[in-house]
Amino acid sequence: MGEPGVGAARWKAAGGALLRVIVVWAVSTLTLLALAGILPDFQLRSDDGESITRTAVTAAWGAGAFGLLSALVWPLVVRALLLVPALVLGLLVFFLNGSLLLLALRLIPDGGGAAAPETAVVVAAVMSAVASATSTALAVRDDNAYRRRLSRLATRRRRRRGRQAEGEAAPGTVFLQLDGVGHAVLVQAVKDGLMPTVARWLDTSHRLTRWRTDWSSQTGASQLGILHGSNHDVPGFRWYEKDTGRIMVSNRPASAVELQRRAVLRTRDAGLLSLDGASRGNLFTGGADQLALVLSVAARRGRANRSRAGYFAYFSDPANAVRTAVSFVAEVGREIGQSVRSRMRGDRPRTGRGGLYPFIRAFATVVERDVVVAAVMGDMLAGRTAVYADLVAYDEVAHHSGPHSRDAAKVLQRIDRAVALIAKVAEHAPRTYRIVLLSDHGQSPGETFEGAYGLTLKDLVRAGCGLPVSRRAGRTKSGAEARDAARHALLGALHRPIGEDAAEERTARGSEPVVLASGNLGLISFPDRPGRLSREEIDRRHPALLHTLAGHPGIGFLLVRSERHGSVVLARDGAGTVELPLAGLDGSGPLAVFGPGAADAVRRTDAFPHVADIMVNSMYDPATGRVHAFEAQIGSHGGLGGEQSLPFLLSPRELSEPLPGGGEPAGAEQVHTVLQRWLDECRGDPFGPQVPLGPAEDSGPQVPLGPAEDSGPRIALDPAEDPRSPGRQDEAFPVTGPVVQDKSD
């Protein structure tokens, strides 16, 4: 027999739970009565009239039926719609909720309830929001209710999965990637009191380390290197591959699939998360078998697609769905208001924030955040060994508002609250968790290249090639100078004897260059010629181009291949252009302003098979930290220069230092090595995970990758282990209150 105190505590807990159900039911009934009095197309009694008591009973029936249907039917409906795109599912939430209300009204005895379909949508949304708010308020009043629920669900998960008893399991690791948050931004946010959770960790339990990105300082290159140990041949966010004739874009599903395939084939390793891991909100799987919002599997259809599991598990609770939808609308309004205020203040620099951007921002800062945070909490309660999740909210806002703006600062506050919630849930997990915060890159501020000089990089390239440009670009000083230089160079070429070189020049003059932007990194390719063009070939084809680019005040340096000197860097030097062999560059010369390691990063990219014919890095002003993005971003990353190249690692002190003596890791591949070592330390395995994929001459990885249009490893799970299973939703995502409560403006 158990102790009397334990039995009494259980009865008290059961009584408290019953009381909360009764209170929520009562509040829902009152809400239904109020809505029936306000909305003309919603009624709870017949036209010939009924007593107040009868109407109240009808409302109670309707509220109870709606609550039961929401708990029982809603998860099945959402599961059936798992293949529907996320934004469409978000819109369907309201209509599905309204349908459940209409069904609930039909279940009322004597048919006392009726509502127009459009009114039912409104009533259902209000009912779900009120029930969620009431449940959350009661949980807050009962200090232990939330903790008891988490503890109970964690125990149930542990028993079902057959894990070791608590205290015996090795610690798990959660990696939270704060996308785009640079080291300097994090330090300043802590000083300003924007991130109290991070500040407390720095004072008590964690160490902060800065690391340096590769030349391509963007999520595609960094996350591929971090999760899969190789970002070889990723020269930018976008690049043109001459051998296949396609443009690769890091955040497109087809490109992400191919990049992950190449990385796995190169490393012969499935990835950082290959042993009982979960990948949430990332571009790549990392070898995990539990996936949600992972781009490299987003193109899948059918049961094999696990990337939308997070949507199902989260939206299976109608209260979550309504709350996130309301927050989504509020975030759209917040962005519109902030954009209007920015224009009224005359903030500079500034970029366009209209069109679909408010909705894109709301998806990144609300929907993606809520689903990813809920998924991470479910992973911890499931006791998974390793979790890697990406929170993209700051990066999205900083691109358009600026990395040091008030808008971005408020996003950091909300991110800190999300981190605090994850840390709270970790206290109830079946194993100890060590939480590591890290970023994939930072962001550098500055006016766009077009805003500063009146023309785009593509305009400048076309003018330097003697190709037509828009009238607006042609009227700028840069455009006029480039066209004049091209015209003089062409006239000089026409006066030379007609030989092989001149004939080749005339033939190639009409070819259209491919100009792609990756933040403040530009990549220029000439698709009509295979292989990488040399400087000499470019000069013969377009005599003014390299001089025009290297001499422009908005450009820091160029990388091209020379037939005589190997790869060279071209940059401004007073009134002229200097050419320096890349092999001999160190901490001096035109790359010195970009910081230590810049020359090594450029040399590494120079060796990539798909490096562009001309690599262009914008200017960088070390006094102000400014760069010029070649796309419409006033906070940018993708090249060298300033804070974009300096992200951070925030790790528990129980783990070893990233590098002995406190050094800074250089490149995403080295960060992968650090994270893998930390996972090994948590597992108590000094030799690391044993997941051999076979030698290079073998038939390939044992985890099938499929063709280029496939989407990564497919590892079948027992249905009992699948968090999407109908009977496991409350365990995977147990939060009954808001995932993150936004209280700012």
pLDDT of amino acid 94? 58
**Residue 113 identity:** G
Based on the domain organization, do 256 and 405 belong to the same domain? yes
Q: Mean pLDDT throughout 585-612?
A: 91
CA distances to 202, 470, 671 from 207, in Å: 6, 52, 15
Label residue 25 by pLDDT band (50, 70, 90): low
Based on the domain organization, do 291 and 413 belong to the same domain? yes
Total structural domains within the chain: 3
Q: Which of 11-20, 81-90, 381-390, 505-514 has the highest mean pLDDT?
A: 381-390
- Within 10 A of 330 (CB to CB), how many other CB atoms are there? 14
Say if residues 464 and 549 touch (Cβ distance below 8 Å).
yes
Label residue 26 by pLDDT band (50, 70, 90): confident
Say if residues 576 and 539 touch (Cβ distance below 8 Å).
no
Secondary structure class of 220 (helix, strand, coil): helix
* pLDDT greater than 50 at residue 741: no
Based on the domain organization, do 657 and 596 belong to the same domain? no
Secondary structure class of 184 (helix, strand, coil): helix
Residue of 346 and 642 predicted with greater confidence: 642
Kindly report which listed range (215-224, 266-275, 307-316, 663-672) carries the lowest average pLDDT score.
307-316
Based on the domain organization, do 348 and 279 belong to the same domain? yes
| Length of the chain, in residues | 745
- Asked if the structure places residue 744 within a domain, the reply is no
Residue of 558 and 717 predicted with greater confidence: 558
Label residue 487 by pLDDT band (50, 70, 90): low
**Residue 486 identity:** A
- Dihedral over Cα of 181, 183, 188, 190: its sign: positive
Q: Helices then strands (H, E): number in the chain? A: 26, 21
- Within 10 A of 733 (CB to CB), how many other CB atoms are there? 26
CATH at residue 303: 3.40.720.10
pLDDT of amino acid 352? 83
Based on the domain organization, do 652 and 594 belong to the same domain? no
Based on the domain organization, do 441 and 484 belong to the same domain? no
Sequence-ordered list of residues with C-beta below 8 angstroms from that of 584, at least 6 positions apart, any chain: none
Say if residues 264 and 254 touch (Cβ distance below 8 Å).
no
User: H/E/C letters for each residue in 418-436?
Assistant: HHHHHHHHHCCCCCCEEEE
Of 633, 662, 697, which marks where a domain is finished? 633
Angle ∠(373,324,321) on CA atoms, nearest 5: 100
- Asked if the structure places residue 3 within a domain, the reply is no
Based on the domain organization, do 393 and 260 belong to the same domain? yes
Q: What is the mean pLDDT of the chain?
A: 77
Intra-chain end-to-end CA distance of the chain, in Å: 54
Distance CA 77, CA 317 (A): 11
Label residue 351 by pLDDT band (50, 70, 90): confident
Q: Which residues are bridge partners to 518 per DSSP?
A: 521
Say if residues 205 and 426 touch (Cβ distance below 8 Å).
no
Based on the domain organization, do 456 and 583 belong to the same domain? yes
Q: What range defines the domain where residue 236 resides?
A: 145-161+170-446+642-689+715-732
- Asked if the structure places residue 50 within a domain, the reply is yes
- Asked if the structure places residue 493 within a domain, the reply is yes
Secondary structure class of 242 (helix, strand, coil): coil
Label residue 467 by pLDDT band (50, 70, 90): confident
Are β-strands 433-438 and 172-178 bridged in parallel, bridged antiparallel, or unpaired? Answer: parallel
Closest CA to 260 of 236, 295, 290: 295
CA distances to 260, 264, 335 from 687, in Å: 25, 20, 49
**Phi-psi category of 526—alpha, beta or left, where left has phi over 0 and alpha has psi -120 to 50?**
beta
Q: Mean pLDDT throughout 555-581?
A: 90
Angle ∠(366,370,372) on CA atoms, nearest 5: 120
pLDDT tens-digit readout, 30-75: 776 676 666 666 666 644 455 666 667 776 766 666 666 666 665 6
Based on the domain organization, do 338 and 482 belong to the same domain? no
pLDDT tens-digit readout, 360-373: 899 889 989 988 99
Residue of 349 and 680 predicted with greater confidence: 680
Closest CA to 650 of 437, 386, 419, 420: 437
Distance CA 78, CA 273 (A): 28
Sequence-ordered list of residues with C-beta below 8 angstroms from that of 548, at least 6 positions apart, any chain: 460, 463, 464, 481, 482, 485, 486
Residue 365 DSSP symbol: I
Of 569, 600, 633, which marks where a domain is finished? 633
Distance CA 421, CA 534 (A): 54
Distance CA 93, CA 318 (A): 8
Closest CA to 353 of 363, 338, 368, 364: 338
Based on the domain organization, do 124 and 157 belong to the same domain? no
pLDDT of amino acid 733? 31
pLDDT tens-digit readout, 372-399: 998 899 899 889 999 999 999 999 999 9
Closest CA to 211 of 438, 445, 521, 392: 438
pLDDT tens-digit readout, 610-654: 999 999 999 999 999 999 999 999 999 999 999 999 999 999 999
Distance CA 700, CA 693 (A): 7
pLDDT of amino acid 474? 56
Percent of the chain at pLDDT > 90 equals 45
Say if residues 380 and 714 touch (Cβ distance below 8 Å).
no
Q: Using alpha carbons only, how large is the chain's radius of gyration in Å?
A: 29
Distance CA 329, CA 358 (A): 10
Say if residues 389 and 281 touch (Cβ distance below 8 Å).
yes
Question: Scanning the structure block, which residue is given the tokens 């990948």?
Answer: 279
CA neighbours within 13 Å on the CB side: how many for 741? 9
Give the helix ranges, DSSP H, for 39-85. 52-72, 74-80
pLDDT of amino acid 428? 87
pLDDT tens-digit readout, 270-295: 999 999 999 999 999 999 988 888 99
Label residue 129 by pLDDT band (50, 70, 90): low
- Within 10 A of 159 (CB to CB), how many other CB atoms are there? 11
pLDDT tens-digit readout, 689-738: 444 443 333 333 333 333 333 333 332 333 333 333 333 333 333 333 33
Q: Mean pLDDT throughout 304-319?
A: 59
- Asked if the structure places residue 333 within a domain, the reply is yes
**Residue 396 identity:** E
Closest CA to 549 of 538, 564, 540, 534: 538
Residue 542 sits at φ, ψ, to 5 deg, of: -140, 85
- Asked if the structure places residue 306 within a domain, the reply is yes
- Asked if the structure places residue 579 within a domain, the reply is yes
Based on the domain organization, do 295 and 399 belong to the same domain? yes
Based on the domain organization, do 70 and 152 belong to the same domain? no
Residue of 84 and 64 predicted with greater confidence: 64
- Asked if the structure places residue 572 within a domain, the reply is yes
Total-model pTM: 0.75
* pLDDT greater than 70 at residue 227: yes
Percent of the chain at pLDDT > 70 equals 62
pLDDT tens-digit readout, 176-217: 999 999 999 999 999 999 999 999 999 999 999 999 999 999
Token pair in block for residue 154: 């964690």
Token pair in block for residue 730: 């409350």
Residue 532 DSSP symbol: P
Say if residues 172 and 429 touch (Cβ distance below 8 Å).
yes
